[in-house]
Amino acid sequence: STNVVEVVSIIDSTNTYVKEHLHQLPKGYVCLAEAQTHGRGRRGKTWVSPFGSSIYMSMAWTFKGGYQSMAGLSLLVGIAINRSLKTMGIKDCKLKWPNDVFHNCRKLAGILVEVEGQVGSDASAVIGIGINVDLPNAVSEIDQPFVDLVSITQKPVDRNELVALIILTLTTMLTEFELKGLAPFLSEWREADLFYNEYVYLESGSNRIHGLSKGINEGGALMLENAGKVTPHHGGEISVRKS
């Protein structure tokens, strides 16, 4: 298959752009920007998006059969990024449920998947990816430990090569995902799982669920073991238990 790829200099947010034009854009369309003025993260947070030092990209995709077929989509995207980084020689990246890419306990990339559609009909998704490539030292607004690719590799990183690889990898994986769901990718997740077999807690609102992290299931849920019982969890923010 082929992807239409558009590169812009400055935009509010590549996700916002793709979301607003979702129905005119071909499946697999990709928008890339050098900078974003209103980059968006998960949970309404800002994604700091300085000029030329990162990858900001969003892909449009449509799914036959609607929402049900999209469970676990954002996890798939993390696996695709991890696989692409590995191919580029960047090893030891970890995946934090549901969709962060970490390196040495610092955040390297974030994923924001936005879904649109009605139950029972086809659904569309905007798949947003932000990867830190060579952030300026002066970036101080980021509210958690982060790292960029140049710091990891200690040499220049070809953004075009990485983007091309991600587009190819993601498109291929999405096609398989449409047929088989997450099942073919579970072992790859398991290998890169940041918290596997660690005591963690999951926070949603004021609710805190503790447990031993047992990876993910085919629906993309986080499996937590508590008092010998493993249960799936769909929402919330995972953290390592501070004890």
Catalytic positions are 42, 107, 241
Q: Which is nearer to ligand BTN, 38 or 180 (CB)?
A: 38
Residue 29 CB, nearest distance to ligand BTN (Å)? 14
Q: Which is nearer to ligand BTN, 129 or 149 (CB)?
A: 129
Q: How far is the CB of 32 from ligand BTN (least distance, A)?
A: 9
The structure tokens listed for 154 are 């200690």
Closer residue to ligand BTN (CB): 34 or 211: 34
Q: In what order do the strands lie in the sheet with 93-96?
A: 5-11, 30-36, 54-63, 123-132, 106-117, 100-103, 93-96
Q: What angle do CA 242, 72, 61 make, to 5 degrees?
A: 135
| Options 39-47, 88-96, 178-186, 219-227: segment touching ligand BTN (CB under 6 A) | 39-47
Cα dist from 22 to 7, 44, 97, 103, 171, whole Å: 17, 21, 27, 32, 17
Q: Which two tokens stand for residue 6?
A: 């558009």
Binding map of ligand BTN across residues 72-101, x = CB under 6 A, - = no contact: ----------------------------x-
Neighbouring CB atoms inside 10 A of 187's CB total 9
Annotated binding-site residue? 13: yes
Q: Is 45 in the site for ligand BTN (CB under 6 A)?
A: yes
Q: Does 36 bind ligand BTN (CB under 6 A)?
A: yes
List the interface residues with ligand BTN, window 154-173 (CB under 6 A). none
Residue 118 assigned as binding residue? no
Q: β-strand 207-216 against 229-233: which pairing, if any?
A: unpaired
Closest to ligand BTN by CB, 40 vs 94, is 40
The number of residues making up the chain comes to 243
Q: How many CB atoms lie within 10 A of CB 196?
A: 18
Q: Is 14 in the site for ligand BTN (CB under 6 A)?
A: yes
Q: Using an 8 Å Cβ cutoff, are 214 and 230 in contact?
A: yes
The answer to whether the beta carbons of residues 120 and 104 sit under 8 Å apart is: no
User: Residue 179 has what DSSP assignment?
Assistant: H
Q: Is 107 annotated as a binding residue?
A: yes
Residue 15 near ligand BTN by CB under 6 A: yes
Residues of each annotated binding site: 13-15, 36, 40-42, 107
Residues of each annotated binding site for biotin: 13-15, 36, 40-42, 107
Residues that bind ligand BTN (CB under 6 A): 13-15, 36, 39-42, 45, 47, 56-58, 100, 110-112, 128-130
